[in-house]
Amino acid sequence: MNILVDTSVWSLSLRRKSGAAAPQSKLLQEYILSGERICLIGIILQEILQGIRNEIQFNKLKSYFEAFPIISLDRDAHVHAAVLSNTCRRSGIQISTVDSLIASAAILHGFYLLTADEDFRRIKRIVPLQLL
């Protein structure tokens, strides 16, 4: 199974105490241990790393995330994200630019999205997004 892991899950999973007990964190750990293909897109990696102020911790995380492939997004992916955003808006659902890009990447590449962000549940009502 191919899995795109959203920033919300990485953030939970990287927290020392509170996040480790979250169901999404446990799922991520299971998927990593079972050898599932876990991927990122560039904006997710950026969101994770830009929240790290300590340079040593930043470099450790940067190295850790090198184990997870980055899905490249081309022009069509960005156009698809815009169409997805417009489709959701016409249905009364406002989504962020980043969320539309994440959802678009998952849809176009046939990935399941592992997220703790409820916004994606609303997006799924409108477009064929596969959530875990």
Matching CATH number, 2-124, of 3.90.1150.10, 3.40.50.1010, 3.40.50.150, 3.90.280.10: 3.40.50.1010
pLDDT reported for residue 25 = 87
Place of tokens 């996040």: 19
| 110 token code pair | 């046939």
For the full predicted model, state whether its pTM sits above 0.95: no
In the chain, helix, strand, coil percent, each to 5? 60, 10, 30
* Tokens, residue 67: 């184990």
Residue whose structure tokens are 């340079």: 55
Residue pLDDT, tens place only, 118-130: 999 999 999 999 9
pLDDT of 61 above 70: yes
What is the C-alpha separation between 94 and 81, in angstroms, rounded?
13
| DSSP characters over 71-95 | EP--HHHHHHHHHHHHHHHHTT---
pLDDT in tens, 44-59: 999 999 988 899 999 9
Domain ranges for the chain, please list them.
Answer: 2-124
